[in-house]
Amino acid sequence: MKKIFAANWKLFKSPQETREFFSQWKEAFNGGKNEIVFFPSAISIEAASTSIQEMHAKYELNFGVQNAFTQAQGAFTGENSAAVVKGLGGKYILIGHSERRQIFGEKNDFLAEKVAFTQSLDLVPMLCVGETLQEREANKIFEVLKTQLADGLKKAEKNKTLAIAYEPVWAIGTGKVATPEQVQQTHQDVFEILKQLGFSAPILYGGSVKPDNAAGLIRIPHVDGFLVGGASLEIASFKKICESI
């Protein structure tokens, strides 16, 4: 099965830096059988869209935004429109990243609306789930994942495409990557929970993925790709991750 390698650029890279990245990416990465996805910041989305379209890549190359509202337009100051992303040729909407949950207080019910709205536009929601260190230490991982998945997907359509990113909160941006055993266990759990809920979706791992740990992690059962933050900002490191299998 193909793997999905996704870059989460968070609040980095201006439109100009985005164009520069893609002009070099074109030379650096020659493709393969896997899918590569970029999530630039919303202000750089048009630069990404144009660069990606002009590239005419011979492999699956897609983009999306890191967050979008539950409606296409209206009086929602500061929000992003998934419909605009679709108009620009985007494919994915990242939903419920732990930074959205923790810094911006987004709750599962709100995320469920975003998942449903994304699917209604025939875009692909990439729902992020993951436990905090406190929840892990209290042995609540399964419970937390089950709630985040059941609640986040309660309005999702089973016959529409969906992707999941499992990102343990304590591993994001900390350099503390989950061990292969931990990744294997939680990806198995996410797979089982999705099955119980009637969904089937690729499950990406995220949290301090780097060129030196990617090859080990990508071979774990039910790891269908990565969501990469810090190491996706530089061409050399993201390229190595995309070539880890």
175/135 Cα distance (integer angstroms) = 19
List the interface residues with ligand PGA, window 8-27 (CB under 6 A). Answer: 8
Q: How far is the CB of 19 from ligand PGA (least distance, A)?
A: 23
* CB of 221 vs ligand PGA, minimal distance in Å: 21
- Taking alpha carbons only, the member of 78, 84, 164 closest to residue 124 is 164
DSSP state of 231: G
Among 230, 239, 241, 242, binds ligand PGA (CB under 6 A): 230
Q: Residue 82 to residues 25, 155, 165, 243: CA-CA distances in angstroms?
A: 26, 17, 19, 30
Residue 166 CA, distance from chain mean position: 9
Please answer whether residues 193 and 202 qualify as being in contact, where contact means their C-beta atoms are separated by less than 8 angstroms. no
Between 64 and 206, CB nearer to ligand PGA:
206
Examine residue 241 and tell whether it contacts ligand PGA (CB under 6 A): no
The distance of closest approach from Cβ of residue 192 to ligand PGA in the complex, given in angstroms and rounded to an integer, is 23
CA distance 183 to 143: 16
Binding to ligand PGA by CB under 6 A, coded x per residue (else -) over 194-213, reads ------------xxxx----
What are 143's two structure tokens?
Answer: 């419970």
- Smallest gap from Cβ 97 to ligand PGA, in A, equals 6
Tokens 């409606």 correspond to 71
Task: Return the exposure string of 46-85: e unless at least 16 CB atoms fall within 10 Å of the residue's CB, then b.
Answer: ebbbbbbeeeebeeebbbbbbbbbbebeeeeeeebbbbbb
Kindly state whether residue 228 participates in binding ligand PGA, applying the rule CB under 6 A. yes
Of 97, 99, 106, 131, the active-site residue reads 97
Stretch touching ligand PGA by CB under 6 A, among 80-88, 119-127, 194-202, 221-229? 221-229
Strand partners for 93: 65, 125
**Does 145 help bind ligand PGA (rule: CB under 6 A)?**
no
Site for ligand PGA in 160-189 (CB under 6 A): 167, 172-173
Residue number, 8 or 41, with CB nearest to ligand PGA: 8
The catalytically annotated residue of 35, 99, 167, 187 is 167
- Whether 97 is catalytic: yes
- Check if 167 is active-site: yes
The least distance separating ligand PGA from the CB of residue 209, rounded to whole angstroms, comes to 5
Q: Which of 222, 232, 134 is nearest to 183 (CA)?
A: 222
Enumerate binding residues for ligand PGA (CB under 6 A). 8, 167, 172-173, 206-209, 227-231
Q: What are the residue numbers of the active site?
A: 97, 167
